[in-house]
Amino acid sequence: MTSLDTSTGLSTATRPEYLAGFGNQHVTEAVPGALPEGRNSPQRAPLGLYAEQISGTAFTAPRHDNRRTWVYRIRPSAKHGRYRRVDAGALLASPIGNPFPEPNRLRWDPFELPAASRTFVESLFTIGGTGDVRSHEGVAIHMYLATRSMDREYFVNSDGEMLMVPQQGRLRVATELGLLDAGPGEIVVVPRGIRFKVELPDGAARGYILENYGRLFTLPELGPIGANGLANHRDFLSPVAAFEDRDEDVVLYQKYLGNLWAADYDHSPLDVVGWHGNYAPYKYDLADFMAIGTISFDHPDPSIFTVLTSPSGRPGTANADFVIFPPRWLVGEDTFRPPWFHRNVMSEFMGLVRGVYDAKAEGFVPGGASLHTCFTSHGPDRETYDVASTIELKPRKIDDTLAFMFETRLPIIVSEQAMTAPNLQDSYDEVWNGIERHFGR
């Protein structure tokens, strides 16, 4: 059971416990007997709790897509006052208001943590996005740069599920359905409509967020790879039930169609004592990803590194992919091993959790980011090309590195605030300067 340590402001279940399996039908009680047996909605729910269903897909979605969870809570979540609109700060939604979206290649130095006190929600800074939050297509890309734990503030996103990629500092994500701890090297996904707050065990935290307005993230098809590999089902962890029994005035912030609204509650909205279902937050340790690459020649397309995908409805063409470049062995013979020069109809936003990325010798650093929107020419910088095209090819382990890519079929539009941010590099194009002509020489 969770309570709140008033001295630290942290939820104090000593250590979160988890239930394994992507999209599984989980069953969990923080207090024995909290779940009714044999039915979802008895005349009176056990222990004086209220039953409530949270539907993450249409009631009638096909069985293999259908997501819903039944929660048994101290009070129904309906018990709150009227929402009032509040300032959303640097948190924006698609379509991003930029009359002249650029085809330029863009790169940012690390986004710095503010000196001021900012909760996770207050710190959200939107770099860009695509599609339209109102029609549930596309994504938004944000940084969080938090310096204060949320305490009496809770958050719910009606617009999209949030895939968080911690880069610095751990997060404790206290949700309606239980607690998740995650640090750099792990990800957390909080589905649309699930209430939560973010606490900072290390006092501050920085990371990236892919907000997915489209179809829920799922595991990619494996095709000829077979029944196993890449991200395996059993490594996705959802929390066991844990609740706050807190009769105090608190505020719930709700992001709704890009704006931020606030409603008062006289109790914690994280008051679910037991739940069952398959619509739940989850975490995943990226070290569990089984990476596949060539054992003969040629660098495969990076789709082999897809952890999660949000299908668009167009065959094989994602609304959003989350792709990682983890530590791995490079053994390709007579092969240019780093990412090749390329242009891509899909748009590519990249971040770095740790180490160095194998396509860029310099300038792409942890906490920073790059964007290659659709059909922009990119690939190895000059230094990387010179080394990788001439080096003697022995098996080599790329270690201590973790880059990732948010990829989408729609062109990514950068916000004005990210285009004018002081950490936007003004000389990124120069990394390809000095690439020499060899033909005919």
Q: Is 432 helix (H, G, I), strand (E, B) or coil?
A: helix
382 binds, among Fe ion, ligand OMD, none (CB under 5 to 8 A by kind): none
Q: Which two tokens stand for residue 311?
A: 């299908």
Q: Which is nearer to ligand OMD, 279 or 305 (CB)?
A: 305
Q: Is 378 annotated as a binding residue?
A: yes
- The residues facing 347 across adjacent strands are 408
Q: Which is nearer to ligand OMD, 173 or 405 (CB)?
A: 405
Q: CB of 342: closest distance to ligand OMD in angstroms? A: 6
For Fe ion, the binding residues in 340-399 under the rule CB under 5 A are: 348
Residue 19 has φ and ψ, to the nearest 5°, of: -115, 135
Q: CB of 441: closest distance to Fe ion in angstroms? A: 28
299 a catalytic residue: yes
Residue with tokens 């402001």: 9
327, 323, 325, 374: which is closest to 346 by C-alpha?
Answer: 374
**Whole-number Å distance between alpha carbons of 231 and 224:** 15
Q: Which is nearer to ligand OMD, 267 or 378 (CB)?
A: 378
The answer to whether the Cα torsion of 211, 123, 362, 413 is positive or negative is positive
105 binds, among Fe ion, ligand OMD, none (CB under 5 to 8 A by kind): none
333, 177, 341: which is closest to 244 by C-alpha?
Answer: 177
Q: Which is nearer to ligand OMD, 138 or 339 (CB)?
A: 339
358 binds, among Fe ion, ligand OMD, none (CB under 5 to 8 A by kind): none
Question: At 395, which helix (H) or strand (E)?
Answer: none
Cβ-contact 166, 131 below 8 angstroms:
no
Q: How many CA atoms lie within 13 A of 396 on its CB side?
A: 13
Q: CB of 301: closest distance to ligand OMD in angstroms? A: 6
**Whole-number Å distance between alpha carbons of 44 and 143:** 44
Q: Which two tokens stand for residue 321?
A: 């992919």
**Whole-number Å distance between alpha carbons of 189 and 182:** 11
Cβ-contact 207, 165 below 8 angstroms:
yes
What residue number has its CB nearest to Fe ion?
348
Q: CB of 338: closest distance to Fe ion in angstroms? A: 11
Active-site option among 64, 136, 299, 372? 299
- 3-state DSSP helix/strand/coil percent for the chain, to nearest 5? 5, 35, 55
Q: Which is nearer to ligand OMD, 20 or 391 (CB)?
A: 391
Q: Is 348 annotated as a binding residue?
A: yes
Residues of this chain that interact with ligand OMD (CB under 6 A) are: 299, 302, 339, 342, 344, 348, 359, 372, 378, 405
Q: Which is nearer to Fe ion, 339 or 366 (CB)?
A: 339
- Count CB neighbours of 9 within 10 A: 15
Which residues, at least 6 apart from 258, have a Cβ–Cβ distance to it below 8 Å?
88, 92, 93, 94, 133, 159
302 binds, among ligand OMD, Fe ion, none (CB under 5 to 8 A by kind): ligand OMD
Q: Is 342 annotated as a binding residue?
A: yes
Our finding on whether 321 is near Fe ion (CB under 5 A) is no
67 binds, among ligand OMD, Fe ion, none (CB under 5 to 8 A by kind): none
405 binds, among Fe ion, ligand OMD, none (CB under 5 to 8 A by kind): ligand OMD
Residue 224 has φ and ψ, to the nearest 5°, of: -65, -10
**Whole-number Å distance between alpha carbons of 107 and 122:** 24
**Whole-number Å distance between alpha carbons of 405 and 351:** 6
* Residues lying near Fe ion in the complex (CB under 5 A): 348
Known binding positions? 342, 348, 357, 378
Known binding positions for homogentisate? 357, 378
Q: Any idea which residues carry the catalytic annotation? A: 299
Known binding positions for Fe cation? 342, 348, 378
